[in-house]
Amino acid sequence: MLVSKPPMGWNSWNTFAWKVNEQIIMETADALVATGLKDAGYEYVVIDDEWAERKRDANGRLVPDAGKFPHGIKYLADYVHSLGLKFGMYSCAGIKTCADYPGSFDHEFVDAETFAEWGVDFLKYDYCYFPTNADPRARYNRMSMALKATGRDILFSACNWGNDMVEEWIRSTGAHMYRSTGDIGERFSAIANIAKSQYGMWRYAGPGCYNDMDMLVCGMDGEGFVGHPGLCGDTEYKTHFALWCMAGSPLMMGNDIRKMRKEVLELVTNKDLLKINADPKCHAPIVMYVHTPDQPTLFKHLSDNTFALGFFNFTDGKGGADLRPWDMGLPTTAGFGLRLREVFTGEVVDYVDDYFKVSLDAHDCKIYLGEYVAKQK
């Protein structure tokens, strides 16, 4: 299987957008290795929109911007591969890309061949300028077939922003991940709203085809194209990353890795959270809340007969979330309960079988790994 867990890597858009160039990609690839992110599983280096010339060449092929990529794309792919990483590119199912560069509509097979010749391992496939009378299912399936026809293993990242009831049909196209939301920004309201929009959607994801809630904004620190100074700090990044891991979303970082702070690096390489994210069965979390979806509790079965439990506070003030085991099917008469360990503090809760509540600061969370234990007589 090409993809056995939610893909992990880095995408250029959130920080660099139109400023992306050869030097940035090479330095970012170097930083993935030097920081230990590669060893933690972050393996894809992906160039997003605005990498091409405005027109195709005389043979109908996409052409990289010579000013941004003077040595061409294959040169970059070879460099990324030399570091033991994988290389990704961007195109669009529409007539043009979102930034008005040539799209792949009616050029799917020639573009797939071009990407394969360059050594591409990952294709993000966007949805701007898509003709209203065209069939998105057929077009995403066409690009999937085109990629497979090249004979090269290329991860297909479908990105139609959750439109057209994509969750119901995208797996049948052979896509490996699919965007189920609009674009993220470095605002906690955007993070929380994306999560809440997915409460009923996570069940559609599964091994081999993952629900992509968009790129991470952890560590942007107010910089870059989608950065918003002062709106997110380490607490917001913590909750953001924990949510994406609980949901089994792909983990594609969007910050400037070359100057990543120690606190952010420790967060995105947290072994417990990555274990939850990469669980091979990719069970959707059970969502529970009593009064408001802004203070949810998420319960996630893991494949080794353990579980993950997340408590979240999306509000702007102090709050809390609770666990009522009977709401997820565990009665107090079952003869067993739950032992919990909080992944950030190491706090241990020896036994829960009836009720458990946590207090949380604004925008904060607590994440527990747990196991089932027999009730002591």
Reported as a single tens digit per residue, the pLDDT across 87-131 is: 999 999 999 999 999 999 999 999 999 999 999 999 999 999 999
Contact criterion met (CB below 8 Å) for 89 and 47: yes
| Per-residue DSSP letter, 376 | P
Tokens of 28: 């970012």
Q: Catalytic annotation on 126?
A: yes
When pLDDT is averaged across residues 130-140 and rounded to a whole number, the result is 97
Say yes or no to pLDDT of 327 above 90.
no
C-alpha 91, offset from chain centre: 18
212 in catalytic set: no
Q: Residue 130 in contact with residue 97, Cβ under 8 Å? A: no
C-alpha torsion angle, residues 212, 125, 96, 217 (rounded to 10): 40
What distance in Å separates the CA atoms of residue 371 and residue 295, rounded to the nearest whole number? Answer: 23
SS3 at position 298: strand
324-339 in b/e form (b: 16+ CB < 10 A) is ebeeeebeeeeeebbb
Q: Which of 48, 49, 111, 126 is catalytic?
A: 126
Other residues' Cβ atoms within 10 Å of the Cβ of residue 304: 11
28-85 pLDDT, tens per residue?
999 999 999 999 999 999 999 999 999 999 999 999 999 999 999 999 999 999 999 9
What amino acid is encoded at 135 in this protein?
A: D
| Cβ burial, residue 89 (10 Å; 0-12/13-18/19+) | buried
- Catalytic residue selected from 65, 164, 183, 234: 183
| Local confidence band at 332 (pLDDT 50, 70, 90 cut-offs) | confident
Is the pLDDT assigned to residue 373 strictly greater than 70?
yes
Read off the pLDDT of residues 3-30 as tens digits, 9 standing for 90 and up: 999 999 999 999 999 999 999 999 999 9
DSSP track, 223-243 = -STT--TTS--HHHHHHHHHH
Q: Using CA atoms, how far apart are residues 226 and 269, in angstroms rounded to an integer?
A: 23
Q: Answer for the pair 102, 64: CB distance below 8 angstroms, yes or no.
A: no
pLDDT by residue (tens digit) across 153-174? 999 999 999 999 999 999 999 9
